[in-house]
Amino acid sequence: MTTYTVRHRTTYRYRQDVAYSRLVAHLVPRATPRQSPLNFFVQTVPEPVERFERTDFFGNPTDWLTIDEPHDVLDILAESQVHVDAPPELDPAAAPSWEAARAMFEFPSQPQALDALQYTFDTPLTAGNAEVMAYAQRSFSRGRSLLSCALDLNSRIHADFKYDKDATDTRTTVERVFELRAGVCQDLAHAGLAAVRAMGLAARYVSGYLLTHPPPGRERLIGADASHAWFAVWIPPFGWVDFDPTNDVVPGNEHITLAWGRDYGDVAPIHGIITGGSEHEVDVGVDVTPAGERR
């Protein structure tokens, strides 16, 4: 088990004053079978006149913030500590074929299958088409273990889609991502979701953080870590299994889970409504520090 401190700072700079902000933040790491949150605090400048915590529909902890004084800069700093365990090794032969897994959704009798059913449907950002279906079918051959299918799909997306931070934005649909064959971690996760759902299976979007490593002989830079995203597939008897197509890995103890939902729109780090503000710029810095390492 590895312990991390995560500092996530988001700064909005507006061209004109914002008179009122009502924000929802997904910045608290959630508890999972292999992750244990320890501490969390959030500091907002200006200070909110109202703040409360709640759990959203998907079980993610959220912070609700209301700011009603004029401001042209909004700074939100979230700091958390969390324990993360490495996942167990999984044997593809122990998973059913993808066809057998899909059949579990026809008349779901298991509570786990009934819960996973909600992640089989398209969303505005992940709606598939004939191209997505054809792409998925190359990994989902007849009778193949679902775990083997998902691992193959993960590797193919990593190889076929270029990481390009200038190609897309948070509103880019998966149809456009397949046209570009490019995007950021959010887009590659959406590509995985769309392909799995095209085969009638359940996949969910996972937001989080990833510990990065500096080049050999150089110190790790503060703020050089990243907000990250990947996808998870419901694979009985294992349950939900994570896949990171950006790095072609099964996430381990260097991936920290924040939240999950149907797509990015369900778990955006910060979203809401504002009055005023006009155009704005956003700066985001993330620092993931293992226990015992100096920042």
For the whole model, what pTM was predicted? 0.93
48 upstream amide cis, omega within 30 of 0: no
The reply to whether domains 2-85+268-290 and 92-266 share a CATH topology is: no
> What pLDDT digit, counting tens, does each position of 227-260 carry?
899 999 999 999 999 999 999 999 999 999 999 9
Among 225, 214, 160, residue whose Cα is nearest residue 187 = 160
- Mean pLDDT for the chain overall: 92
Q: What is the sign, positive or negative, of the torsion defined by CA atoms of 202, 207, 211, 212? A: positive
Which pLDDT band, with edges at 50, 70 and 90, does 277 fall under? confident
Helix (H) or strand (E) segment spanning residue 72: strand 71-84
Identify any residues that bridge with 140 across adjacent strands, giving them in sequence order: none
Structure tokens at 197: 């759902």
Query: Which CATH architecture describes the domain 92-266?
Result: Roll (3.10)
Tell me which of 2.60.40.2250, 3.90.79.10, 2.60.120.260, 2.30.42.10 is the CATH number of domain 2-85+268-290: 2.60.40.2250
Domain ranges of the chain: 2-85+268-290, 92-266
Contact between 206 and 193 (Cβ < 8 Å): no
Structure tokens at 37: 């949150």
